[in-house]
Structure 1
């Protein structure tokens, strides 16, 4: 299957920020951001139960409730069940820490079994106020959440979620499924499986200007050879490439800020924006099917779309490579 034929465009909208990531976002601001994306032609929206314990799904569903369902593509994730009860204890989110501390306080249960997968999809449909999702990602089966036990969780997903989603795809309930993670290793492991076979991967934060060398070594060429599309999430590396202070869901280190400063200096010299460099770099790899930056303010949507169209001179990419700011083998955009 050609995964790219499912996607309406090469840029979508990642809704993790709508789950009150890093800060509490007013309801009207969240709704206005989704509607700005719609009004400016964005037709692919990605979400997950984890984002604010269902908050992002609820907000996205409310904002798109009156839009023609056949006119947009929707993806969500499985692996987490959101319970009605409130969780009074701090949640363990691995490297994501207290990322959604401003989200809903509901209990989150990690579960990759087949039954939990089907339940998760049904509950997402209710929060999203829709009768179907197009793409389902198996969420966060990786070292950043489960440490040395991640392979045990991966096996639970392989025999549970993977097979359940394969059946849903075969039955025409969903169009595609894959894995959504912040690590390369689970995706490489999946490519080695004879079955079940995913259609695509959502790789967040691991194919950016600041972090891409591991993905280049095997994942990107192997995925392309296998016909498995890659959606690049987090192209701004948690915001630090877009003027923020976060990298890897935490305060950026002085070393990262210095590297971003060098990229910004080069961008300034060539009269371009860092956002343009970040988005166009991610899309230049032939394995990349789409990129999904997130946003919490309506104005950010216009910035992203402008960055995608902004002319970037070949000399910028050459200088970036010459200064060792991108891997020598990384595909670069044509000028």
Structure 2
């Protein structure tokens, strides 16, 4: 299956985790300015999820888009985690990674009723009457079997009813996404951090998606920070943890080759996934207008074909 519309609109999709206070607080005004900046650079696809800031990302995104014609942009959100009352005695930072009060907590519910409830509550937070794509979010974290036998068919039924236009699964697990594609129910998958300039454990999956007509949205293209600077610093992160020495060394080797071609490491990191036919777009998060504009400049950078050949010659990309 293929999404019934072109995902490739604008320089990239906007990833909404940052405006949900991912790791750091963001004010409402800064969140609005971040979305506004994305719009100004031509972004017309916006991704969010209940998980991101316990609904804060959805509320902020919806408020920022409220005055724009609904037909002029696309929105994706996710199901699988319901938000239910929490203790309210602390923050979500340790358990969920977001600097927000823990007055709500996530509750896994892959049932058809849970999927419908999740989508309805997301629409209420967004202030929209529909989203374009609904993903099952990280089923491997809870129960992949239940996710693929209950939640994904429920999403497909909503698509067939016309409630959403396309459905799929989002995860950083290659095996989980492979199993999802095997169901034949996915129009699109959101692949997090497993098909990047640094590493490509999902290369076979991406090739199979091309053959099956399943679109891929690549996210985590900077490997959570490692590839986001021209020269990775010793204290940089990889998969939201300190980068191991071997991984840091590989990133620096990539940066050195990029520099020889007059390209920065983040320029190449943003360009690399889109070379695969199945990868229809990338989604890039931001917590400020400046970060959005920086990503837009990277997306516009010209990356010479010779760079990829040199990376292959040095064993930094597969031959």
TM-score after normalising by structure 1? 0.88
Deviates more, 1:290-299 or 1:100-109: 100-109
Establish whether residue 65 from structure 1 lines up as the match of residue 66 from structure 2: yes
Checking the alignment, whether the CA contact within 8 Å between 2:91 and 2:101 is kept in structure 1 is no
| Alignment size in residue pairs | 312
> In structure 2, what is the equivalent of residue 319 of structure 1?
310
User: Could you say if the C-alpha distance between residues 84 and 62 of structure 1 is closer, same or farther in structure 2, counting changes exceeding 3 Å?
Assistant: farther
Question: Where do residues 80-159 of structure 1 align in structure 2 (5 Å cutoff)?
Answer: 80-86=81-87, 88=89, 98=95, 100-105=97-102, 106-142=104-140, 145-146=141-142, 153-159=143-149
> Alpha carbon RMSD of aligned pairs, Å?
2.0
Give the deviation of 1:255 after TM superposition: 2.2
Establish whether residue 225 from structure 1 lines up as the match of residue 211 from structure 2: yes
Give the deviation of 1:87 after TM superposition: 5.3
1:90 and 1:30 map into 2 onto residues whose CA distance is: 19
> In structure 1, what is the equivalent of residue 179 of structure 2?
189
Choose from 264, 268, 287 the match for 1:273. 264
> In structure 1, what is the equivalent of residue 254 of structure 2?
263
Give the deviation of 1:188 after TM superposition: 1.3
Q: Deviations over 1:68-127 (max 9, x none)?
A: 111100000001011133355887x9xxx6552412412111111111110000110111
Checking the alignment, whether the CA contact within 8 Å between 2:82 and 2:109 is kept in structure 1 is yes
2:274 and 2:131 map into 1 onto residues whose CA distance is: 24
Give the deviation of 1:306 after TM superposition: 1.9
Q: Deviations over 1:144-171 (max 9, x none)?
A: x34xxxxxx1221223211211111111
Question: Where do residues 237-316 of structure 1 align in structure 2 (5 Å cutoff)?
Answer: 237-243=223-229, 245-316=236-307
Choose from 183, 201, 206 the match for 2:189. 201
Deviates more, 1:26-35 or 1:177-186: 26-35
Give the deviation of 1:4 after TM superposition: 6.9
Q: Deviations over 1:244-288 (max 9, x none)?
A: 722112222222222221122222222112121011111001110
Classify the secondary structure of the residue corresponding to 2:190: strand
Give the deviation of 1:234 after TM superposition: 0.9
1:29 and 1:64 map into 2 onto residues whose CA distance is: 14
Unaligned runs of 5+ in 1: 147-152, 329-335
Classify the secondary structure of the residue corresponding to 2:46: strand
List structure 1 runs of 4+ shifted beyond 3 angstroms: 84-91
Give the deviation of 1:3 after TM superposition: 2.0
Classify the secondary structure of the residue corresponding to 1:75: strand
Checking the alignment, whether the CA contact within 8 Å between 1:87 and 1:107 is kept in structure 2 is no
Q: Deviations over 1:174-198 (max 9, x none)?
A: 00000000111012112333x5x11
User: Could you say if the C-alpha distance between residues 8 and 323 of structure 1 is closer, same or farther in structure 2, counting changes exceeding 3 Å?
Assistant: closer
> In structure 2, what is the equivalent of residue 332 of structure 1?
none
User: Could you say if the C-alpha distance between residues 133 and 104 of structure 1 is closer, same or farther in structure 2, counting changes exceeding 3 Å?
Assistant: farther
